[in-house]
């Protein structure tokens, strides 16, 4: 059983990648995926998610405060206990109904609920956690977890320093869709989407929710005299989709826009530069594709840590508040800057993360027999 949470699209995409890998190596397995924050699962959880999203829109600094407080040992334990107690009854219902051989969590909320369920029922049910950030945070750290998978070796060493058993810790990387490795080349993808071969292609993404000031970014890019091809993925943000469609004809650049689409990977493969919020899954996919990034408007907390990681490794430039976007893009398009960033992105890539995680889980299940 895979337990995830539809807060943005990253946790869902990581879960889908793991499920795909598990189905490949365990074709006879009965695999169930549950969105812990969907209305079908729990209207209370769904309401919590709605409040969270409203909080991000109106008071992002409040989340920053929560993130920092919950990152400490005392504050983190209090927050973890509160969420686990609230959500444990739903975990109880789901686990009893499915009677799984292993539970895999890609979000800390179902992880906490499952950990508490194991404690209350004195259960040996294996609990596996796949972290979807590039930094370690207390909210992911629960007892009664048989295996942790994380993005980097530095995170693994940090957990060892916190007295976690090294045998249970795996720096496999963040799981991404395995099809990324089989995409056609950039020129073929541009032909497929009717894009000019010679103009720089810039992709604008704001995650599944279409966040990140995409309309304002387009206005800034309009200041660049060099002809550009601008690809926009608005996600489920219907208002943004319509606004971009209306404005597209007014730009001197070629602008193409999509709503929520399953073609994002192909559009990433066709691009020279990605302008986006630093979601961990988006960054991980860009690494695999060798796609340089210009990062802006991170959600306070984990996205800021993701931005730090990508820029520290030379795969991205982080545009801080007050810095002008158009000059930054022009600088990136000059010389061989993007080529060097593409190499750095590839150095960070972990394309086989999902399969590595799946093989470890398969070995765990084999050991139970």
Domain count, the chain: 2
Alpha-carbon distances, residue 236 vs 86, 205, 258, 283 (angstroms): 29, 11, 10, 20
In whole angstroms, give the CA distance from residue 206 to residue 38.
21
Q: Tell me the longest C-alpha to C-alpha distance in the chain.
A: 66
**Could you tell me the pTM of the whole model?**
0.89
Task: Identify the band that residue 277 occupies on the pLDDT scale cut at 50, 70 and 90.
Answer: confident
Distance CA 183, CA 266 (A): 7
Is residue 364 located within the same domain as residue 252?
Answer: no
Q: Find, among 213, 223, 359, the residue nearest to 232 by Cα.
A: 213
149 plus 48 within the same structural domain: yes
Asked whether residue 14 falls in the same domain as residue 74, the answer is: yes
Do residues 25 and 107 share a domain?
A: yes
Same domain, yes or no, for 85 and 186? no
Least confident of 76-80, 256-260, 363-367: 76-80
Mean pLDDT of the chain: 89
Residue 257 shares a structural domain with residue 111: no
Each residue's pLDDT tens digit, 13-31? 999 999 999 999 999 999 9
CA distance 33 to 267: 27
- Reported as a single tens digit per residue, the pLDDT across 184-241 is 999 999 999 999 999 999 999 875 444 457 888 888 999 999 999 999 998 877 888 8
Residue 58 has pLDDT above 70, yes or no: no
Say if residue 304 is in the same domain as residue 225: yes
195 lies in which domain range?
A: 182-348
Which pLDDT belongs to residue 211? 46
Whether residue 258 is found in the same domain as residue 171:
no
Instruction: Render pLDDT for 82-110 as a digit per residue (tens, 0 to 9).
Output: 888 888 999 999 999 999 999 999 999 99
Banded model confidence at residue 75, pLDDT cuts 50, 70, 90 = very low
- The reported pLDDT for the residue numbered 355 is 97
pLDDT at 352 over 70: yes
pLDDT value for 322:
82
Q: Are residues 246 and 262 in the same domain?
A: yes
What does the pLDDT average to over 130-136?
94
Q: Are 274 and 203 in contact (CB under 8 A)?
A: yes
CB 95 within 8 A of CB 34: no
pLDDT exceeds 80 at position 299: no
Q: What is the DSSP string of 55-113?
A: HHHH-HHHHHHHHHHHHSHHHHHHHHHHHHHHHHHHHHHHHHHH--S-EEESSHHHHHH
* Residues 145 and 195 grouped into a single domain: no
Per the CB < 8 A criterion, the answer to whether 23 and 29 are in contact is: yes
pLDDT digits (tens, 9 = 90+) for 318-351: 998 888 999 999 999 998 999 999 999 999 999 9
Between 51-65, 108-122, 326-340, 355-369, the lowest mean confidence (pLDDT) is in 51-65
**Average pLDDT in the 142-167 region?**
96
Q: What pLDDT is stored for residue 245 in this prediction?
A: 87
CA distance 97 to 103: 13
Do 204 and 284 have their domain in common? yes
Residues 305 and 316 in one domain: yes
What CATH number does residue 50 fall under? 3.40.50.2000
Rounded Cα gap, residues 142 and 210, in angstroms: 32
């Amino acid at each position: 059983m895979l337990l995830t949470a539809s807060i943005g699209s990253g946790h869902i995409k990581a879960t889908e990648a793991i499920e795909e890998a598990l189905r490949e190596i365990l074709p006879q397995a009965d695999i169930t995926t549950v969105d812990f924050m969907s209305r079908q699962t729990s209207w209370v959880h769904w309401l919590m998610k709605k409040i969270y999203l409203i909080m991000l829109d109106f008071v992002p600094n409040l989340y920053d405060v929560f993130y920092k407080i919950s990152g400490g040992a005392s504050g983190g334990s209090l927050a973890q206990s509160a969420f686990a107690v609230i959500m444990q009854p739903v975990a109880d219902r789901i686990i009893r109904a499915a009677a799984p051989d292993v539970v895999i969590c890609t979000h800390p909320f179902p992880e906490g609920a499952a950990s508490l369920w194991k404690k209350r029922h004195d259960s040996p049910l294996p609990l596996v956690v796949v972290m979807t950030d590039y930094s370690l945070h207390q909210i992911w750290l629960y007892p009664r977890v048989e295996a942790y998978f994380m993005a980097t070796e530095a995170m693994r060493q940090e957990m060892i320093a916190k007295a976690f058993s090294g045998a249970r810790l795996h720096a496999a990387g963040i799981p991404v869709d395995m099809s990324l490795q089989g995409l056609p080349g950039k020129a073929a993808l541009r032909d497929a989407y009717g894009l000019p071969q010679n103009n720089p292609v810039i992709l604008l993404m704001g995650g599944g929710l279409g966040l990140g000031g995409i309309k304002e970014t387009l206005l800034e890019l309009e200041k660049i005299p060099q002809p550009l091809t601008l690809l926009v993925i608005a996600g489920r943000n219907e208002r943004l989709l319509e606004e971009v469609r209306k404005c597209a004809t007014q730009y001197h650049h070629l602008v193409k826009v999509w709503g929520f689409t399953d073609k994002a990977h192909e559009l990433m493969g066709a691009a020279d530069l990605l302008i986006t919020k630093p979601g961990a899954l988006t960054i991980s996919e860009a690494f695999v594709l060798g796609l340089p990034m210009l990062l802006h408007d991170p959600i306070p907390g984990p996205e800021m840590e993701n931005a730090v990681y990508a820029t520290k490794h030379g795969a991205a430039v982080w545009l801080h508040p007050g810095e002008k976007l158009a000059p930054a893009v022009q600088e990136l398009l000059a010389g061989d800057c993007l080529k060097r960033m593409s190499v750095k992105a590839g150095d960070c890539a972990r394309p086989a993360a999902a399969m590595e995680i799946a093989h470890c889980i398969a070995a765990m299940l084999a050991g139970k027999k």
